[in-house]
Structure formats: C-alpha cells, structure tokens
Structure 1
Amino acid sequence: MAQPIIEFKNFGFQYDAQAEPTLYNIDLAIQPGERVLIAGPSGSGKSTIASCINGLIPFSYPGRCTGSLTVDGVDAPNASIFELSKHVGTVLQDPDGQFIGLTVGEDIAFALENQCVAQPEMKQTVERVARLVDVENLLEQEPHALSGGQKQRVSLAGVMVDDVKVLLFDEPLANLDPAAGKQTIELIDQVQQKTGATVIIIEHRLEDVLWRSVDRIVLMGEGRILADTTPEALLAGNQLAENGIREPLYITALKYAGVSLEAEKKPAHVDTLRLTEQDKAAVRTWYQQTVARPQAPAAAPLLEVKDLCFGYSEGVTNLRDVSFTLNEGDMVSIVGRNGAGKSTLAKLICGFETPRSGSVWLNGRNLEGDTIKERAAHIGYVMQNPNQMISQSLIFDEVALGLRTAKLPEDEVERRVNEALTICGLYPFRKWPVSALSFGQKKRVTIASVLVMQPKVLILDEPTAGQDFRHYTEIMEFLRSLNQKGYTVIMVTHDMHLMLEYTSRALVFNQSRMIGDLTPAELLCDSTLVEQAALKETSLFTLAQKCGIQPPEAFVQHFIDYDREVRDKWQTV
C-alpha cells in the first residue's frame, strides 16, 4: 500500500482559549487520490481537523497538539502555513471571503504574484487552471459579480495554481442553490479525475455530496472518530441518525417502510439502489397507509403583492410583474436560483427598496406611503447572519432596543420583552451577554427582537444555512411553533428539505419572475420547474419511480405527512 498523504497518529488538540481538548486520539490515514467526506454535528471537531491539515492550527488558532500529523511528508504542526499551502489548497464556505483581485484573472494569479512568477509563465498557468474549472471566459469579470457556482469555481482555481496534492473543501454547498450545489460536486469530481488530487469534503448536506461517489465517510462526534467506513456501510446502519446527521430522505423512507438495508444493496445512491421485489412491495404497502393530515382552517388574506416590478439600476429589471396573496397563518418558502429576485422581493415587502411599479398590501391597505419603521410594526425581517443584526451587549437590551427607540414606557418594554423571550425560550437567559450564546440561540435573540414589535408577518432569509441537523431542527421547530401561534412565516431558502418538511406552499422564482405557486411535493416532482429554478428533484421522486408508485408527488406528500407524525410523537415522549 502507498504511503498515506495525510496521517494522524494518536493526535489530539486543545485550543488555548478552551478548558478541554477539541480532538482526542485521532488515528486517520488518507491515501493519495482518495475522496473522503468528513461529517458530524456542529462542535464535533470537523473544522478543527481541517485547520490542522491546512496549517491554520496552531498558527492562526493557537493551542497544544499531541501525537503526530504528517501532510504529504510534512510535519504539519511544526511547518509554516506557507509551506503547507504548497501541498493543501482550501476552498472556504464563503467564496467572497477568499477573493483578492479586481478581476477573476487577477484573483487566480494572486499566489503566483506573491511568488514573483514571471508574467508569461503566470499567464499560462492562469489560463490552464481556468480551463480546468471552466472559467476561461470569465477572466475579465469581477469575482463578486459572479453566480454562487461560478464563485466556487474561481476559488478552486485560485488554490490550484500551485498544483497542490490535497484539495480541502469546507462546507462548499452552504450558500448555493441546489443546482449550483450539484454542479459544484460534479466539478470536484471532474477536477479530481483530471488531476488525481486527494479530496477532503466537510459538509452537512450529506445527500448532496453523495451525488458523486466518495471512497469513505469519516463520522466525527465530540472530538473523536466514531466511524471510518464506506458510504454503503454507514448508510445501511443507524449511526448517522443516532449522531444527529440527516440521512438521505430515501433512506429514511425505506426505514419507515420496514425495508432492511445492507451494504450489498448499494444504498449510497438512490439511482444505483438495489431493491428486491419484496422491498418494493413493502414501500408500496407503507405508502398506502393512512396518515392523518390536519386541514388548515380557512383564513383571510393578509399580504398581497400586486404586479410588483423593480430594478437596482436603470435599464435592469430585477423583479418583474410579481403577484401573489398570502393568508393569515401561512408558512411559505420562496425558492429559486441565486440572483432570481428572492431577497429583492423580501426587501420590497419590508420597504427597504421602492418598487418601480406595483404595490404591497397588508390587511387590505396599500403600504406605499409607509416608512420602513411603520412597516416594521407589522412585518419583521430576520437576516441570515444574526451577528449582523445584534448591536447590544445584553440579551434583554437587544430585544428591548426597538421598543425603547419607539419611546414606550419602561414597564411596557419589560412586559413585552419578557413575553417575547418566553416565546423564544430565552427568558432564563435574559440577563446574559449575547456573546455567551450559541449561533442558534443568537438566531432566537434576533427573532425575539422582531417579535417584540408584534408583527403579523415574519420574513427570514436562509434561517438554517450552515446548521447541522440538530440545530436545523431546533430552529425550524421553533418557527413552526410561532406559526401555530398565528404568525405568518415566509422563508427565503435554498434548503429543499426545509421546504418539504415545514412549508405547505412554495413560491418559485427564475430570471426575475415568479414562475410557480404550488406545494413543495408538486414542485420537486416537476422536472421543468426544477430545471428552470435551479432546484434538484427529491430522491423520494426517484424512489417512487423505482417502486412503481404513481403519481410520485403523492408519495412525496405521504412521506412528509408520515415524517411529521413520527416527529410529533417523538417530541411528546
């Protein structure tokens, strides 16, 4: 067997700022040319392992290493970041954080310029790696103006100019629409086939990564390796679910149907899944079970958008002729490709931007003359990153800020803040500093600071981006409880699981227009809409076809209803 290109031996690491180690007794060998997925819940040690491999630990994040780690023959803990960068290229979760140059060509050339490479050689290298990742036609464009998938390609090109042997991807799908995420996984596959590089992927979206094969999955938990095995072996067992990692939906459906899974059935891909006739019959029998589906009571119209048009600059239209009506108590997803107009729509509803034409109505009243402050009394907006919304040191003061700005009496401020904190499960922490909270808890603080204004509509931009399955479930069950209390909830999201599991309606956008208003199950079984909106057909659709179930959207809806019933029973235990 060849010498491992990466080898941890009894490796441990403890950050200087923490009382306990983050990694314990890591023994891991990765062979040249392997493709390895590292999975695990937040705080399990995945990112720490990555930072040890690329040299950020211990130099940017100081701490104490034990045991040994070699990367392409280099003693990593005692090497410089510069030296390791010759062996390991890292593509971050947010490509914008990696861009340096004013054009794509300049950005790719940045490392070569630092090395004082001659201009002819530099140009030749840039053109070579640009062709490798299919961005040779974008070299004169500004990196920040590209689509999410194009940005990932440019980031990858920037780390490949050194002919690195290891490519490390830290949550490469977190900010991408489903189609761009699929293209990114295909790109990683193509680049590895062309270069033979070793690929390490850290990602929560397990099913999306498995769109292309990986050799192994390393499952992390509480700083230790819980499993190091093939995708088939891991998906056939229960370790993923037991450790808070979302299984692919088709795997969950098969388990609900009582189908036994073994590695021999090739469960890592729904397309290659080997089901017996008995397995298919079990799925059909499960599908025919009756699931109590609660009927939503008839509700009055609340929010109406009429013929809305908008452009950020003259001659450009970012939103065109958008019309829809939401009822009181709706929970709705807004989905579509990056740049389709989803976030722009949210800004227009909140009054952050002024439409060229059309109007927004609330409870039968045109909001055209309302200021942002006046709209905020009825429509709350929660940004994707809570740190961008928080300005106060203490939780109580943060939630009270809007009321105090409105000069309400302090006794009224205290009553409403305590009420909002109770709804959000934060009342026991009301005197805590915001800095002591987790990301998910900070998200709740921002929601509480909006709820305290008593809005009728709550708009959230990517409420679960970058969250592991446990934190995703925590945030979404909380939002569901708010919806059940009467709040109308609108979510701008790329997460198709979120859309399927928690919303009954999807507004679909493509090229500045709304092209669909239908149920999530119907949407993800409509190949035309899926392609237009840069989405991805659910694996439940493929499973239904394999088992001869028609129409597939009815099977998808059955899964959603059954899964909700299971979750509700589990939560009441």
Structure 2
Amino acid sequence: MTTSAQQDSSTPPPAIHVHQLSFRYRGANEDDTSPKTSTEEASAPSTIEDISFTLPAGELLLIAGPSGSGKSTLIKCLNGLIPNSYKGVLSGEIQLQGHTTKGLKLRDLAHYIGTMLQDPDKQVVGSTVEQEIAFGLENLAVPRPEMRQRVRNALEQLHLERYQGRETFALSGGQRQQVAAAGILVMQPAIMLFDEPFANLDARAIDELEQLIANLQAEGRTVVIVEHRVEEALRLNPDKVLLLHEGKQAFFGPTAQFLEIADPTQVKLPVEATLRTIPATAQPRDWLLQPITLGEKDQQQATEPILRFEDVHYRYGLFSEEILRGISFSVQRGETIALLGPNGSGKTTLVKQALGLLRPTKGRVSLYQDDTRKLSVAQLAARIGYVFQSPNAMLFAPSVTEEASFGPTNLGFTKERVQEAVQASLKALDVDAFEQRSPFSLSFGQQKRVTIASVLAMQSSILLLDEPTAGQDHRSYMNFMEHLRDLPGLDALLFITHDLDLALRFTKRVLLLKDGRLVADGVPLEVLSDAKLLDECNLRPTSLLHYLLGTRQQVS
C-alpha cells in the first residue's frame, strides 16, 4: 500500500495512519501453530473490524463508544501490546510517524508512543513515586543526570513533588493515576495515549491533566484519549472523534458532527444533549433526578442507625500522618449516600473501617449496633458488600461464573441459591454473555461490572461501591442503577465517587470529605450549590449541576 506521505516526501507523515485494521483474540484452544480455519474464525468474531482513519501530527483524537466496543483493543494495537503481548489474528496496517509498526518490539515503539492505562494498578510497578517515574528511562539506558532532570520536570508539571519519595502502595487511586501519567511524560514520545484518564481523578487533578495535554499539543505532540465521560473530554476541544460500536467504526470526523449524531444513552454528553431526548410531556427536573429509595416500609419502623461512625481516627503507621481525623456520622435504613472528596481525602480508608479491613486507631464503628472490633471480617462480609475501586484487586477466578459464585458459596448459600443469585447478578450487570470467559480477558469496564455482580450475588444488606461508574458506558451505568432501585433486602447504598451527576441523580444525601474530616453532610443539591466548598474540595461543577441551579433560581 502506498500512503500520501510516501507519494509526497515534502509533506510530513501523519502521526497515526490506520488502514482496514481488524483483530480477534486467540481462542482458548488455539496456539501459535494452530491452523486458522474459517470455522474457527466464524466462531470467534473480531473484537475490532475494518477500522480506518488518519490523524495528522499535533491533533487530539477522542475515541468514544460503549463498554466492550473495542476501544481498549484498538489502543493495544496502536501501542504494540497487540501482537507483542496479546496473541490473536491481526490484519490491516498501522503506521506511526510514517513508520509501519509491523515487526516492531515494545522497546522500539516506546520511542514513538506512550500509554497511560485505564487501570493504574496494572501500570505502576515502582516501589516509590520517583522509581516509578524513572522506570521507563532506566530501561532505555538514559544517562542518570538526564534521567534525574526529566523526572524532576515531570513531578513539577503534575505538582507531585511532595510525593517524590512516597511509597506507591500508600497513594490513592487518583494519585496513582497521576504518577502513571508522569511515567509516560518523562519518556517524551511523539504520540501519547490516555485510556480513561479522568476516571479516578478529582477536579484539580483533571485540571492539571488537561493543562498537561494542552501543553503537549502546544509542543506539537499528538494525543489520543479514550473516554466514556465525553462531557469532560470535550473541554479539551478534540480535533476529531472516532466512535466505535460493537467493534466497528460508527463515525470518524469533527466534534461538531459527532455531537449531532451521538446517542446520550450510549455516551455521557452535556445535559443540553440529554434534554433533547426527554419526552415533551415529561418534566425535565423529574426526568433527570430520580434518587434511589430503598425499603420505604422498613424506614418507617427504623429507629437505630444501621451503620455508625463515632469520632473515628486512623493512621497507617505509628509515626505516619493521620488519614481520618474524627469522623462521625450515621447511616439509616433506606438511605442512598454519595461520599465525595478530593484524591487522598480518606474516602476509601473510611469505608474500609466498616468492613474490618482496617480498624480505627481511635473511635468506634458500629454495624447494626455491633462494634466492628468484635466482629471478624467474615462476619462483616455477611452483612456488608464492598466493590473495590480497581477490579485488579478483586478478580482471581478462571471464569466469570466462578468469580461471581465465590462469595455466596463461602457465605454458605445452597447450590440452588448460589446459581440463582449468580445468574441474576450477571444478567443485571450485562455480563452474562461472558460467564465462561476469563475475567482477565475482558475490558476494564466489563471487569468492573463483573466485580459488582460478584458482590451483588452475595445479597448483602449494605453495599459500598468505590467508583462504580469508572469505565462504564452511560447505558450500562443507567441500567445498573435501575437494578439497584428494585433490589430486595438492600438496607443502604453508599457510593464513593468523583461523579457529581451520580450524586445528584441517584442519591438523597452527600457526605463531603476533605483532609480526613467531614466538612459537609446534606441534600445533594444543597451541598453542591456551595461554589466555594466545591473549589476547596476539588469538585468541578457539571453541566447538570449548572442546569439544576439555574432552574432553581428561575423558580425562586
């Protein structure tokens, strides 16, 4: 094939040129020597099929689409993880900076392209922040004086200087995300790929990442972003949008044309796009805000809180900084709560106190009036279910069904009850089609849904979900919320999130943490209407919040 770059040597080659790219993962019974028969190919459909686009150097491309549409697979093809690490049947052509990627090893590709993965836990390998950022440079044998300078520059650009010597395991998920970005930045590739970069970040970290991307473009770098939160990505003014659906290219072109054809039930768009889809007979506010209410009859009879934190303090080590500083609040039966706050504010540390994974260094946590200090982790797990922020921290089984069956089996469910609970939870999370697949072969969003389904199958009375919308397309996210609305036997829901729209649309109460302290507790719109408080807690107002505040003022 002859490209335009080859036809005219005076024209700089495009940063990325993809032509008729298709890929299917290798089947469980295939190896490198297996003949690829037409029967095998028919039984294992391509994950991506016939993708073609060209991106000029210095432009920003947004790749959007539902979970499982092939976005992460396309990224793996661009950065060389396919076929170097993930085997299968690859066809078509990829050129980076005018050079074909065929036959290039990951080490060679690192000079052209760098990737920030969707899940930072799969990328961070260094024991300290400084070691992590220097890891790639060490592998390329960069001279030590230059290495130190480039690491120092990356730390300054992302305002990570105070974490330079910090152990990476002690960082929050959002902080690890920033460290992963710094590790790519020091490599100085011409093309940078960001897979769901905003998923675990607070507003300040998003601002810093957006500024970094703007600076990269100003330097002539090419940027590719994969993001479900299209509303956030649009702030970067992408030059082009590539929309994938079921592995195929549904659209490639300018952002303005994408917004005309995009379906707000598939990708998260600004509220103005959602308003266009609301029936004329419906009240927009009632359509947009539908908080989940649990067990209304039981609420009338409830008097005692089902979960209580009393002056809870916590520090990870005897001489380490205190993470929780006197947290006190109660959860009543029937409540749906969003726990918001900046990266590193103590949100995940707080909920782990309720699970017995961590115990307060001072204060008391009670679950159904029982002091959690007197309960084992197994006893707590029978009442309270927790979905970790990273699927990688939970998944271990060889198949999705075995993964989802593990919890209820260990809780002593009968075989029939296990089967019924697993089937219902997998269907609710739209992962029942993958029941015999390895969870490690799924996309990040699908893995996240498998972990949620695994916890739902345990039929806990209280659910704690850490960043449940990370990696989720809008349709999967909305379907899951509707399932929670009708879940029997559920006493309370608590979401740990940076997603203000989740708090506004589906919860009745917001808890706001900052520096290990509870700084606000109340009705979502009331708490989130305080612009000064939002800024102090690194929370960015969304188009939905602006719309709701605007309509409230009109009514007033």
Instruction: Give TM-score scaled by structure 2 length.
Output: 0.80
Other-structure match for 2:479: 474
2:257 equivalent among 233, 237, 255 = 233
The alpha-carbon distance between structure 1 residues 309 and 404, as it changes in their structure 2 partners (threshold 3 A), is same
Residues 1:221 and 2:245 are matched in the alignment: yes
C-alpha distance in 2, partners of 1:100/1:382?
A: 23
Other-structure match for 1:212: 236
Secondary structure in structure 2 of the residue aligned to 1:324: strand
C-alpha distance in 1, partners of 2:187/2:292?
A: 58
Deviation at 1:150, TM superposition (A): 5.1
Deviation at 1:361, TM superposition (A): 3.1
C-alpha distance in 2, partners of 1:151/1:384?
A: 12
Moved more, 45-54 or 367-376: 367-376
Deviation at 1:472, TM superposition (A): 1.9
**Partner AA of 1:344 in structure 2:** T
C-alpha distance in 2, partners of 1:40/1:430?
A: 19
Secondary structure in structure 1 of the residue aligned to 2:438: helix
Other-structure match for 1:340: 345
The alpha-carbon distance between structure 1 residues 106 and 322, as it changes in their structure 2 partners (threshold 3 A), is closer
> Deviations for 1:429-448, whole angstroms, at most 9, x for unmatched residues?
79965737953663354224
Number of residue equivalences: 517
2:454 equivalent among 446, 454, 464 = 446
> Identity percentage over the alignment?
34
Moved more, 498-507 or 132-141: 132-141
Q: Given that residues 525 and 538 in structure 1 are in contact (C-alpha distance below 8 angstroms), is that contact kept between their aligned partners in structure 2?
A: no
The alpha-carbon distance between structure 1 residues 471 and 354, as it changes in their structure 2 partners (threshold 3 A), is same
| Aligned pairs for 1:154-553 within 5 A | 154-193=179-218, 195-235=219-259, 237-241=260-264, 244-253=266-275, 255-256=277-278, 298-299=299-300, 300=302, 301-315=305-319, 316-385=321-390, 388-389=393-394, 413-414=414-415, 416-418=417-419, 420-421=421-422, 424=425, 433=436, 435=438, 439=447, 442-443=450-451, 445-451=453-459, 455-482=460-487, 485-543=489-547, 549-551=551-553
Secondary structure in structure 2 of the residue aligned to 1:52: helix
C-alpha distance in 2, partners of 1:204/1:360?
A: 36
C-alpha distance in 1, partners of 2:50/2:334?
A: 50
Moved more, 287-296 or 301-310: 287-296
C-alpha distance in 2, partners of 1:149/1:380?
A: 22
Q: Given that residues 461 and 492 in structure 1 are in contact (C-alpha distance below 8 angstroms), is that contact kept between their aligned partners in structure 2?
A: yes
**Partner AA of 1:76 in structure 2:** T
The alpha-carbon distance between structure 1 residues 414 and 99, as it changes in their structure 2 partners (threshold 3 A), is closer
For structure 2, list consecutive stretches of 5 or more residues without a partner in the other structure.
1-10, 28-40
2:142 equivalent among 91, 94, 117 = 117
> Deviations for 1:195-215, whole angstroms, at most 9, x for unmatched residues?
220111111111111222211
The alpha-carbon distance between structure 1 residues 112 and 308, as it changes in their structure 2 partners (threshold 3 A), is closer
Other-structure match for 1:565: none
Q: Given that residues 390 and 446 in structure 1 are in contact (C-alpha distance below 8 angstroms), is that contact kept between their aligned partners in structure 2?
A: no
The alpha-carbon distance between structure 1 residues 20 and 196, as it changes in their structure 2 partners (threshold 3 A), is same
The alpha-carbon distance between structure 1 residues 321 and 551, as it changes in their structure 2 partners (threshold 3 A), is farther
C-alpha distance in 2, partners of 1:376/1:146?
A: 25
C-alpha distance in 2, partners of 1:292/1:119?
A: 56
Other-structure match for 2:54: 29
Q: Given that residues 15 and 21 in structure 1 are in contact (C-alpha distance below 8 angstroms), is that contact kept between their aligned partners in structure 2?
A: yes
The alpha-carbon distance between structure 1 residues 66 and 516, as it changes in their structure 2 partners (threshold 3 A), is same
The alpha-carbon distance between structure 1 residues 60 and 362, as it changes in their structure 2 partners (threshold 3 A), is closer
Moved more, 491-500 or 129-138: 129-138
Q: Given that residues 103 and 140 in structure 1 are in contact (C-alpha distance below 8 angstroms), is that contact kept between their aligned partners in structure 2?
A: yes
For structure 1, list consecutive stretches of 5 or more residues without a partner in the other structure.
259-281, 556-573
The alpha-carbon distance between structure 1 residues 162 and 183, as it changes in their structure 2 partners (threshold 3 A), is closer
> Deviations for 1:347-398, whole angstroms, at most 9, x for unmatched residues?
2122232223332334445444333333333333333455644666677876
Q: Given that residues 70 and 247 in structure 2 are in contact (C-alpha distance below 8 angstroms), is that contact kept between their aligned partners in structure 1?
A: yes
**Partner AA of 1:462 in structure 2:** E
The alpha-carbon distance between structure 1 residues 52 and 156, as it changes in their structure 2 partners (threshold 3 A), is same
Q: Given that residues 23 and 224 in structure 1 are in contact (C-alpha distance below 8 angstroms), is that contact kept between their aligned partners in structure 2?
A: yes
> Deviations for 1:521-562, whole angstroms, at most 9, x for unmatched residues?
2233221231233222121333457xx64438x89xxxxxxx
2:16 equivalent among 6, 20, 38 = 6
Moved more, 108-117 or 73-82: 108-117
**Partner AA of 1:86 in structure 2:** H
Instruction: Give TM-score scaled by structure 1 length.
Output: 0.78
Q: Given that residues 386 and 446 in structure 1 are in contact (C-alpha distance below 8 angstroms), is that contact kept between their aligned partners in structure 2?
A: no
> Deviations for 1:418-465, whole angstroms, at most 9, x for unmatched residues?
5534653669979965737953663354224421xxx43222223332
The alpha-carbon distance between structure 1 residues 293 and 159, as it changes in their structure 2 partners (threshold 3 A), is closer
C-alpha distance in 1, partners of 2:344/2:402?
A: 35
Q: Given that residues 448 and 468 in structure 2 are in contact (C-alpha distance below 8 angstroms), is that contact kept between their aligned partners in structure 1?
A: no
C-alpha distance in 1, partners of 2:166/2:378?
A: 38
Secondary structure in structure 2 of the residue aligned to 1:211: helix
C-alpha distance in 1, partners of 2:338/2:63?
A: 30
C-alpha distance in 2, partners of 1:387/1:134?
A: 27
The alpha-carbon distance between structure 1 residues 41 and 77, as it changes in their structure 2 partners (threshold 3 A), is farther
RMSD: 3.8
Q: Given that residues 182 and 208 in structure 1 are in contact (C-alpha distance below 8 angstroms), is that contact kept between their aligned partners in structure 2?
A: no
C-alpha distance in 2, partners of 1:103/1:287?
A: 47
Q: Given that residues 168 and 200 in structure 1 are in contact (C-alpha distance below 8 angstroms), is that contact kept between their aligned partners in structure 2?
A: yes
**Partner AA of 1:218 in structure 2:** L
The higher-RCO structure (CA 8 Å, 6+ apart) is: 2
C-alpha distance in 1, partners of 2:233/2:100?
A: 30
The alpha-carbon distance between structure 1 residues 350 and 65, as it changes in their structure 2 partners (threshold 3 A), is closer
Q: Given that residues 387 and 452 in structure 2 are in contact (C-alpha distance below 8 angstroms), is that contact kept between their aligned partners in structure 1?
A: no
The alpha-carbon distance between structure 1 residues 357 and 539, as it changes in their structure 2 partners (threshold 3 A), is same
The alpha-carbon distance between structure 1 residues 431 and 157, as it changes in their structure 2 partners (threshold 3 A), is closer
